[in-house]
Structures are given as structure tokens and as C-alpha cells.
Structure 1
Amino acid sequence: MSVKTFLVNLRSKINANALPLPYKFVTGNQSADMDSVISAVSYSYFENLKDNNSYVIPLVNIPKEDLKLRRDIESLLQSHSITEDLLYFLEDFEILSGGATNELILVDHCNIQGDLLHQRMNEGKLKVVSIIDHHADEGVFLDSHPRIIHSNGSNSCLVFNYWYDQLGRNDALLKQNSDIIELLLGPLLIDTSNMTQKVEEGDVSAFSKYKQILDLGAGNAPIIKQFVGPDAGDDIVAGFYKKLKTAKKDLSGFRFVDVLRKDYKQFSFLSGDNVGFSSIGKSLKWVLSNYTIEEIRETLSKALVDFNVDALVITSSYTQKETNIYTREFCYYYEDKANARFNELDSLVKEPLQLNDSVYGADKVGTKLTKVNTDSKGIFKIYNQVNIKASRKQVVPIVKEALEKYSLDHTL
């Protein structure tokens, strides 16, 4: 059974009101990156593969219109003939989740994310029953089962490894349904930069099984081969990664707000602060060169309102084309200039993130940054982040701890 066939069957059952209530959903995190989307789709697929009477609805935790900002995901899904009408977005969830208490499985995060899901939880219409995640354990939903939370490069591998055991480690069955394995290879390669960075035991184990099931050594991955095309060369895996990475980095035609929305999460901290986190694959030099001062200033200010946050953190990661040096930057914007926590946030996180002022293209960035902050409602700060091992997954808890500790220390 192909993934598309499964999703078509699921859609027809929902349209015919043929699924028993309450519904069960599986959702990735609010960034809705490839790892989250494929983790949710694959979990749903595998549960049905084990029990063809069991249907879990895979939820993409963004509005439907935002999928177009994720060109890598669109291209991967299209290679499997999966169109957006076969997926489920927040608009669908709002309609489908309004009745009895529905069960929810969290993948690629371990706590509720997003206003609508928080609302349904507060209304008593959601119960978290399972978690498979590779982020820091937030210590909630302790009675969920399975509750698999540990570090790994790609969360999709944790999903696969769990279901591989549940399916009796049945390679023959997966060879008959290898379409799902070709889909799963995508997020593994993206999250580990083609198995060169952040690779952990779960990734190695899953990749070994993927190669065996697909017989990658012989190039037997028909969907991937067609997707990569004649330029694949001898290394089809490298060709697959390169094409997905190119699609992910393609921001042509994007407004600055689209860049911010493309990979976005937000969190509420015990300090009382709501903070948004946008991850971008371009330098701040690129941002300041490609958008006008007015657009940057207006977009940052409007983002606080639209996202309903007190501050917006931007984490960038890219390779400098002149030197091939992999680089990260830490930036943030806020408008409450009387908020001492935000005024000092850069100092509070300076040590763990190893921040300094040696920003790529510092002269141009500094000049443009001064113009952005002139006559602005808020303050925008940009730093080079020497600790390149700290992606957003590490930055969020560092910011959380800094703000909460500062708040606690100054209320005693």
C-alpha cells in the first residue's frame, strides 16, 4: 500500500463519516518542518499497516496556506503524488476536533504547541496518549504510552524504529511497502546533512534498515530515482539530499514575513513572556540586503502582534560562500523597552551561545541595523553565535532558563 493510497482511504472514510468517534490525531510541532510532517504521516501510516481498521489522522500544525512556504516538503510529497488535499491542517482540525474528547499523539515535540491545540486542551477536548520526540523532556503527560523522548538527529527515525519493532521487525512487509521508506529517507538526510552532522544511534539504526529495505546499493528506489532525475550520478542518496536541500533553501519570491513564518515556533515561559522563534537558512546580511529597511521594521513590529508574542528570536544557520565556514547567528526583536529581561537577554545567553559582534558582513549589517532601529518601535539585536552546535532545539531552553531565572532573581 502506498502512502497516497492510505491517505486517500483515510480521506474517504472521514468524508463518509465512517471513522469511529472520538478521532485520534498525530501531530508534529508548530514549525511543521519536514521532520515533523513526515513523522506524523509515517506514524499514521504504520499504525494502519499494523491494523487496517485503525486510522490516525496526521495533522500538520500550520494553516493550509503556509505549506507553500515549505518547498522541500511540497516537492517530497509531490514525488509520492501526495497533494495538499490529502493532508490535514489547522482549519481541518478546528472542524474535526469540536466534539468529544479526541486522542492526540505528539511527534517531534513533547508538549502542546499552538493556540488552537491549547484551546482544545483547555476545553477538555484533547487527551495526549503517546509521545515520540527528540527534544528536551518537558516532564508532562507522564502517563502517555509510548513515551519515547531522547536525543536523535531526526525524530522520524525514532518513529520508524518504534514501529519497526511493533511490526515485528518484518523486513519483507516493509519491502512490499517500501514507498514509506523512500519518504522517510528525506527528513533523515535533511536533519543530518546527509548523515554528516548531528547523527546519533537512532539515525544510524534507521538508515541501515532503509538501505537494506530499499537496496540502495543497487539504486533500487524508484520514486527517489525519478525525483532526482538523470543528474543523480552514482550516489542516489547524495543526489536526493542535494535536491531536497536546494528546495528548502529556495526563498525566491518570499516576503520577509514569509521567511519568518517558514520555520516558526512559539513558547510561553514561567517568566510570563511569550517568545517566538524563527529559524532561517540565510544570513542576516542576506536579509538586510534583500528587504528594505521599512519592510524589515514593519514586519518585525507586526510579527509581535500577529504571533501574539512579546519578543521574536531569529536563529540563522548557513555556510559562508566565500570561506565555506558554517555559521550561526542569534538575533531578537522586542518593543517593551522597559522590560529589563529583554534588555539584558543578550548578556544572559552570551556565555552558553558564545555570542560576539563578529557578524558576517559586519560593516553592512551594522549600518543597516542602525537604520532599522532608528525611529523604530522596538529594538533589534544581531550577534554572531560561535557555539554552532546550538540549533533552535538548544537555543529555546537556554532562552527559557535565562528569562525565568532573571524573573525569579528579581522578584525575591
Structure 2
Amino acid sequence: MRTLRLLLSALLASVTGASRAPFQQVLDATSGKDTPMRGGDDIGVGHFSEWSRATKKQFFVDWQAGRQSEWVFVMGNEAGDLDSMASALTWAYHLEHSTQNTSNPTKAIALLQTQTDALDLRPENKLALKNSKMTSGHDDLLTMDELPEDPETLALKLRGIVLVDHASPLRKWETAKIISIFDHHVDKGTAPDASPRIFEKVASCTSLVARQMFDEFYKLPEEYHLPHELLELILSAISIDSGGLKDATETDLHAAKRVFERSQWADRDLHEQMEAVDEWLSDAKKDLDDLSVRDLLRRDWKGDLVDTPSPRTPTVSLGFASIPYSLDEQIEKTGFGELFHWFAVHAAWTASINTDIDICLNKYKVKTKDGKKKKIREIVLTVRDDVRIDKVQADNLFKAVTEALEGEKSLGLERWHRAGELGGRQMVWTHESGAGRKVIRPIVEEAVRKWDM
């Protein structure tokens, strides 16, 4: 696999004396010196992993004792990309360490809003965490499936939450007090009294978190320890989001410089190192050929409840998956290699998460007659009738969303070449507009908000 090739490349670089292998620390994980954990996992080494594991343990101890009100959850979005994860871990670490010698210390923990077994569906995350010497199997990270209490209930008991790489909380966290927000998307007006409350168009949200961390860090009466493993995780997130700084804003660049000069890479050239890290992570990110259709569906999925004016169904569950394969390629990955099996796998997945409407946004490239590559996108729409809405409502909602998408002329939607084989409340379109989730999601959400039946 590509990840194995990356490890071998790093080994070769170390043997030949190359000084710029960006993730040479990855080799530590193959030394066999770590202590085995349950399930064959290896305990992470270094201050950052030790802190993360100790923090997770303390949260469970305090939960058992009924002390949830002492804790702040720092959470990113539910897609669980590297930017979201690095932002949450960075700010949780800073919150705790910057207040540890004060009269009001903060207990903070990063909550990754995904399942533990879904973390490795993003190979770039796995590689970055391995470089940061975290525990294999992710026993030192807190994920959604490890919460000992329902989020709706826990939200009321917490001291508060911090949103990173996320403009507003998911419905299940909306009753929690929002202490701070860091986001590089559109400001939705959530929690106007939060502090700090930072919205800025940058390549990486981690840049905003790192900037604020250092602004506060240098004002402290005494500096706390910044482990290089955390610093290099921050740089990894900034690198992959900014194309190795080629697409960086001034904020991204300034944040990267401040982090870089304290990292173990400080004796190297900033731009060369960040380009190398981006290349490694981007190569790993593409290593998805072994993932099943179900894994592809849940790898980059975002969803939440959406309000409707319908007195019968005041909320509808809406989800979006982003997949870097065409539907034809995904069909080949099913056990039978048939269209019906893809929709069967898809139905089982959406049933497991109680979703009413699911949108799969596929993207891929095809070669044109002149040998160039052209980007193609697909939209796969399905509506269920077994969660919150009945068959008549589902038919009507499917019609409303279909008309909204086809009515957006800027998308230039064309029905898929096998659209005639689709079942009820299933539709697939192709387009070349370049519109992804940030464009498609508001169109669908608006249609749902207007739906009244």
C-alpha cells in the first residue's frame, strides 16, 4: 500500500543521510520498543500523547463521579479531517496548560466527532498522528462512540464547548454553552458573545487556532511546554490545507512561521519542508483503493437535523458524503458489482444513522480526446420513508429537492447515463460546474426548510 511505501521511503532517506525527510519520526512506530496496550495497540511516546491519554482518563474518572460541569469540550466538524482534528487538539492543550497555574484552571478535552474506527479512513490523519507519536488504535483520543452519555444530555452538564473548523454546533450539542468559535467559513451568527470568536478566510482553521494560542502564550507570566509532536501536527494541517503554503494567506504563513521556529524542523527551510509534508500527506490521502463502499460513504460525511415548516415533521435528518470516485467505480467495489448492490449498501448505511435524505457528492477525472484530464462531479440523491417521514411525504420531499437542484441552472446538471435503471426516490446527476458541498448543501437545505407536508 502507499502508506507502506511512504514508510520505506522515509527509511531510505534516513539511511542515505537525507536531512529533509518530513516524517522521519514515523519510523519510531516500527522499532518495537513501545509497550503493548490492549488489543495489540502501542502506547504513544512523548509529552503530547501522554497528556492526551491522561486527559481522556481524567474525563472518564470525573464523569463517573458526576463532575461533567468541570469540563470543556473542543470539537471540530463531523467529517473529522486533519484540520478539524489538529485544531481541536491544539486548543484543548492550550486551554488546559495556559490556565493550569491560575485560580480557575480549565479542564479541556478534544472531542473528535466521528467513530473511532472511522479515523483511519483518512490515511493522511493516520500518518500525521503516527508522526506525532500518538497511540496506535487511537486510545489516547476521545471519539463520539466513546462518550459515556447521550450528547443531548451531556451538553447540558458541561462547562461549555468550543467550536473549531465549525460555524455552529450540531443539533445534539445546541444546548451547551458555546465558549469560543474558530472558523474559516461563513459566519452564521452563532453565539455572538463567545470569546474568542474568530471568523477569517484562511486556508486552514488550524492557523487561526495557532495564532491565538501564540498570542496568548507569549503574554503568560511563564511559558508552558509546547511538545514538538503537537507543533508538527499543527504544521501538517496547515501544510495540506494550503498546498505546502502555495495557497497560504498571510495569516497561514505567519502562523506556520511561528510554529515552525519551535518545531524539530526549525533548522530546515520552511517552504521546502512544508511542500514535502504536503506531498507526503496528499499521497497518503489518495490511498483509498482498499476502502469499501460503506467506508467511502462514512469517510467524509456531514449531516444534521434541518427544521421544516411541516407540523407533522418539524425536523428532517439530512446528510452529505463526499467521495473521490465515480458511481461506476464505486459499483465495481460492491460484492456483486451491480447497481442494485451499491444502493443496498448505501441504504444499510443511511438506515444505521437514521438519515431521511442523503446526498453523495462524487468527483473524478476523465481523459478527453486531446489527452487532457477533465473534472466531473456527480450528485446522488436518495430519500427514505422509514425514519421520520412516510412514503407520501418522502415522495413529495424527493420531488422538492429534485426541482431545487435541477432548477439551479448554474450547476448545469445532466441526468446520469444509467438514470433509467434507478429505483424510486433515487436520482443521479453529473455536472462540470465544480460546485461541491459548500454550494450544493445550501440549495438542498433551503428546499427542506421550505418543504411543508
Q: What is the TM-score of this pair, normalised by structure 2?
A: 0.72
Q: Aligned ranges for residues 138-177 of structure 1 at < 5 Å?
A: 138-168=188-218, 177=227
Structure number, greater radius of gyration: 2
What is the aligned partner in structure 2 of residue 130 from structure 1? 180
- 1:250 maps to 2:287: yes
What is the aligned partner in structure 2 of residue 101 from structure 1? 157
- 1:396 maps to 2:441: yes
Structure 2 distance, partners of 1:216, 1:144, is 35
Out of 85-94 and 310-319, give the one that drifted further.
Answer: 310-319
- CA drift of 1:95 comes to 3.8
Q: Aligned ranges for residues 219-368 of structure 1 at < 5 Å?
A: 219=268, 235-271=272-308, 272-291=315-334, 292=337, 293-320=339-366, 323-335=372-384, 336-339=394-397, 340-351=399-410, 354-357=411-414, 366-367=417-418
Out of 139-148 and 18-27, give the one that drifted further.
Answer: 18-27
- CA drift of 1:216 comes to 4.9
Out of 234-243 and 75-84, give the one that drifted further.
Answer: 234-243
5+ unaligned residues in a row in structure 2: which ranges?
A: 1-45, 309-314, 385-393
- CA drift of 1:381 comes to 1.3
When residues 188 and 82 of structure 1 are mapped into structure 2, their CA distance, relative to the original with a 3 A threshold, is: same
When residues 350 and 207 of structure 1 are mapped into structure 2, their CA distance, relative to the original with a 3 A threshold, is: farther
Which residue identity does 1:219 align to in structure 2? Answer: R
When residues 235 and 147 of structure 1 are mapped into structure 2, their CA distance, relative to the original with a 3 A threshold, is: closer
When residues 219 and 114 of structure 1 are mapped into structure 2, their CA distance, relative to the original with a 3 A threshold, is: farther
Structure 2 distance, partners of 1:169, 1:180, is 20
From 89, 110, 126, give the equivalent of 1:74: 126
- CA drift of 1:319 comes to 5.0
Which residue identity does 2:406 align to in structure 1? Answer: S
Contact 1:188 1:203 (C-alpha < 8 Å) held by counterparts: yes
Query: Percent of aligned pairs with the same residue?
Result: 22
5+ unaligned residues in a row in structure 1: which ranges?
A: 222-233, 360-364
When residues 398 and 134 of structure 1 are mapped into structure 2, their CA distance, relative to the original with a 3 A threshold, is: farther
From 116, 119, 124, give the equivalent of 1:64: 116
- CA drift of 1:4 comes to 1.4
Superposed structure 1 runs of 4+ greater than 6 Å apart: none
User: CA deviation digits over 1:116-163, x for unaligned, max 9?
Assistant: x35xx3xxxx32221111222222222222221232221111111111
Q: Give SS of 2:238's match.
A: helix
What is the aligned partner in structure 2 of residue 29 from structure 1? 77
Which residue identity does 1:10 align to in structure 2? Answer: T
Q: Aligned ranges for residues 80-95 of structure 1 at < 5 Å?
A: 80-83=132-135, 84-95=138-149
What is the aligned partner in structure 1 of residue 37 from structure 2? none
Which residue identity does 1:66 align to in structure 2? Answer: A
Contact 1:315 1:392 (C-alpha < 8 Å) held by counterparts: yes
- CA drift of 1:254 comes to 1.9
User: CA deviation digits over 1:57-102, x for unaligned, max 9?
Assistant: 1101122222232222122112222121111112333349766720
Q: Give SS of 1:337's match.
A: helix
Which residue identity does 2:295 align to in structure 1? Answer: D
What is the aligned partner in structure 2 of residue 226 from structure 1? none
What is the aligned partner in structure 1 of residue 4 from structure 2? none
- CA drift of 1:37 comes to 1.1
Contact 2:184 2:204 (C-alpha < 8 Å) held by counterparts: yes
Q: What is the TM-score of this pair, normalised by structure 1?
A: 0.78
- 1:206 maps to 2:252: no
How big is the alpha-carbon RMSD for the aligned residues of Structure 1 and Structure 2?
3.3
Count of aligned residue pairs for this structure pair? 373
Structure 1 distance, partners of 2:293, 2:219, is 46
Which residue identity does 1:193 align to in structure 2? Answer: G
Structure 2 distance, partners of 1:106, 1:319, is 34
Structure 2 distance, partners of 1:2, 1:320, is 47
- CA drift of 1:300 comes to 2.8
Contact 2:413 2:430 (C-alpha < 8 Å) held by counterparts: yes
When residues 176 and 309 of structure 1 are mapped into structure 2, their CA distance, relative to the original with a 3 A threshold, is: closer
What is the aligned partner in structure 2 of residue 384 from structure 1? 431
Q: Give SS of 2:83's match.
A: helix
Q: Give SS of 1:308's match.
A: coil
